[in-house]
């Protein structure tokens, strides 16, 4: 059966068995994908072209937008193609690549959010040392560490997930998701990936505690700022980050640690949608709507495009 799965690939979950409804889902997901791409590409373009935003915070934000574009581009296009062609198939190698790339971007996202919290901590709690600590070489090293850790994290989960043979090729999800794939294994080797998930959970819990402690120090320092304008500026850069991180962590943990159902479940689909698509959709909005510098950069970008 493992050989047959390797040759035939996997069958993904259909959004609907009714063709008309399936096309409606296709249009909805296509619009969602285009909105996510447009938002994040605008953020990348604004930061890359505006020298006022060539600072560590916006450098990290640009990398976050790149990761968000990558994560949704791994899972949405294949679903759109399957809906349009009325098929459910994905090849075995395609499923392996999808798992690796999705976990790679997801792990990089998680690591970058921790780096961004550290950046805000230094900026608010130790402003006099900010330029010395967050210099250009240090920022490049942090970003390199973020991408490399995501690469290793993706390789670890992918190798442990596909080490076990599969007894079925029907995946109860619209893309190759690890919890749903583990359901299909017929060997004790799946325990390796369960161990990796437990280790990842403990590591993530430690990172979450680090984030909470960091923001306790940040909010304590913010309350000492004498001016109302200074407090508003500090909160406008910190609260969106904490909101994104909390949404990302809690929904991701629930999706990966809960027992997957034996039949297609709306709750499984809902939590997968939240942790995989909501952060890439909301990140550009919450990081720019309350950020005057980003608004000005976007206005200059639109003015420049209109001029040409």
**Looking at residue 279, which CATH number applies to its domain?**
1.20.1070.10
pLDDT of residue 150: 92
Total domain count, the chain: 1
Whole-angstrom distance, CA of residue 133 vs CA of residue 16: 53
More confident residue, 19 or 3: 19
Region 49-55: mean pLDDT is 83
Least confident span in 101-110, 170-179, 227-236: 227-236
Q: What is the mean pLDDT of the chain?
A: 81
Q: Which long-range contacts (CB under 8 A, 24 or more apart) does 54-57 make?
A: 56/119, 56/134, 56/139, 57/116, 57/119, 57/120, 57/123, 57/237
- Condensed to tens digits (0 to 9), the pLDDT of residues 261-292 reads 566 566 777 777 877 888 888 888 877 665 77
**13 pLDDT above the threshold of 80:** yes
Whole-angstrom distance, CA of residue 295 vs CA of residue 213: 30
User: From the DSSP assignment, how many helices (H) and strands (E) are in the chain?
Assistant: 11, 2
**43 pLDDT above the threshold of 70:** yes
pLDDT of residue 5: 56
Region 200-220: mean pLDDT is 81
pLDDT band at 305 (very low <50, low <70, confident <90, very high): low
**244 pLDDT above the threshold of 70:** yes
Least confident span in 36-50, 162-176, 223-237: 223-237
pLDDT of residue 308: 42
Region 228-246: mean pLDDT is 68
Least confident span in 15-24, 27-36, 74-83: 15-24
**253 pLDDT above the threshold of 90:** no
At a CB cut-off of 8 Å and minimum separation 6, what does 305 contact? Answer: none
pLDDT band at 96 (very low <50, low <70, confident <90, very high): very high
- State percent of the chain over pLDDT 90: 20
Residue 68 belongs to what domain range? 2-307
Helices (H), 90-135: 92-125, 130-133
**92 pLDDT above the threshold of 60:** yes
């Amino acid at each position: 059966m493992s050989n047959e799965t390797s040759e035939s690939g996997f069958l993904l979950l259909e959004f609907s068995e009714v063709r008309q409804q399936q096309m409606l889902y296709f249009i909805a997901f296509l619009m969602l994908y285009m909105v996510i791409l447009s938002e994040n590409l605008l953020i990348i373009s604004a930061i890359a072209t505006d020298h006022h935003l060539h600072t560590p915070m916006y450098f990290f934000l640009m990398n976050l937008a790149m990761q968000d574009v990558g994560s949704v581009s791994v899972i949405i296009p294949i679903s759109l193609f399957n809906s349009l062609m009325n098929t459910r198939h994905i090849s075995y190698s395609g499923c392996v690549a999808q798992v690796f790339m999705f976990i790679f971007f997801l792990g990089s996202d998680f690591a970058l959010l921790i780096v961004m919290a550290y950046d805000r901590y230094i900026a608010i709690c130790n402003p006099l040392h900010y330029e010395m600590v967050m210099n250009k070489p240090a920022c490049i090293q942090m970003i390199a560490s973020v991408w490399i850790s995501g690469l290793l994290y993706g390789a670890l989960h992918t190798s442990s997930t596909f080490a076990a043979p599969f007894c079925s090729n029907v995946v109860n999800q619209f893309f190759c998701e690890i919890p749903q794939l583990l359901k299909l294994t017929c060997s004790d080797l799946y325990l390796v990936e369960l161990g990796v998930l437990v280790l990842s959970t403990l590591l993530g819990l430690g990172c979450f505690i680090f984030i909470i402690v960091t923001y306790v120090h940040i909010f304590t320092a913010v309350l000492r700022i004498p001016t109302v304008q200074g407090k508003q500026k500090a909160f406008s850069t910190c609260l969106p980050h904490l909101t994104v991180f909390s949404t990302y962590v809690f929904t991701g943990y629930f999706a990966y640690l809960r027992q997957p159902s034996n039949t297609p479940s709306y709750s499984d689909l809902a939590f997968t949608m939240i942790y995989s698509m909501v952060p890439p959709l909301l990140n550009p909005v919450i990081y720019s709507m309350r950020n005057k510098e980003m608004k000005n950069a976007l206005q200059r970008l639109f003015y420049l495009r209109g001029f040409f």
